[in-house]
Amino acid sequence: MYQRALQGKEKAWGPDHTSTLSIINNLGNLYANQGKLVKAEQMYQRALRGYENACGLEHALTLDAMYNLGKVFKQRCYAAAKLSASIAVLAYVKYLAGLCIKFPSARLALFDDVGRAFVWIGDDAKSAAAFAHQLALNSSAYNAYCNGCGTNLTVNTSRLVCRVCEDSDLCRSCFDKLESNGLGDVSSSCQGHKFLDLGGVSIGRSPSTDDAIYRVSVEEWLKDIAL
């Protein structure tokens, strides 16, 4: 149905009209929901390019397509990690880093995906760096919540990142309960899973003095993983 609508819109409005792009984006959603990640990625890439041309980098429609694309990159990382295909995971980490470079406002969310991708392939140092950069962006709070108690994860609660699940974190206290089998149902899906412990990880950032230094280092870090 979308395909037919798309052909009609393309004919009537041209490929870069926002009505055409909205159909392309919806088609991406449809494929993503069906788990057809290759096709979803193609649609979101087209939508993103079109919105960039039609509306510019900062427009809400552009950012929406960018987040959709980032989500597919993350899912493709996860699928590749499950097959132990580290090289494929790294290829998608590069795409994610490329989005971070082009869309600085998306970094808080995308650093999370980069951090998890490195966790899944066992590169703890790079993963910890990604989460530390995320913390530095956001006043010592991760953009994430504990799957056990729902608390906002910060430097103070610590953060334990599940090495197995696509999207699971625990605070220190829930992790300790899980270890002693006391967490109940909430995170029983993580029973027996290994975690990366981010306790003590932070990149010092004093806003008055370190901003320039911090910005250089995060840009360099991104370029390094986007290579």
Least separation in angstroms between residue 224's CB and Zn ion is 29
Q: Which of 93, 190, 196, 218 binds Zn ion (CB under 5 A)?
A: 190
| Residues from 113 through 152 that contact Zn ion (CB under 5 A) | 146, 148-149
Nearest in space to 49 (alpha carbons), one of 12, 74, 76, 20: 20
Identity of the residue, 193 or 205, whose beta carbon is nearer to Zn ion in the bound complex: 193
Q: Which of 85, 193, 201, 205 binds Zn ion (CB under 5 A)?
A: 193
Least separation in angstroms between residue 162's CB and Zn ion is 3
Identity of the residue, 25 or 147, whose beta carbon is nearer to Zn ion in the bound complex: 147
Q: Which is it for the CA torsion 221, 81, 87, 96, positive or negative?
A: negative
Q: Which of 63, 165, 186, 203 binds Zn ion (CB under 5 A)?
A: 165
- Asked if residue 172 binds Zn ion (CB under 5 A), the reply is no
Q: Which of 103, 168, 183, 222 binds Zn ion (CB under 5 A)?
A: 168
Are 18 and 61 contacting, i.e. CB atoms less than 8 angstroms apart? Answer: yes
**Do strands 169-170 and 195-197 pair parallel, antiparallel, or not at all (unpaired)?**
unpaired
Are 23 and 9 contacting, i.e. CB atoms less than 8 angstroms apart? Answer: yes
Q: How far apart are alpha carbons 179 and 191 in whole angstroms?
A: 8
Token pair for 224:
């390094």
Helices (H), 56-166: 60-82, 86-102, 107-120, 124-137
Identity of the residue, 70 or 148, whose beta carbon is nearer to Zn ion in the bound complex: 148
Contact residues: Zn ion, CB under 5 A? 146, 148-149, 162, 164-165, 168, 171, 174, 190, 193
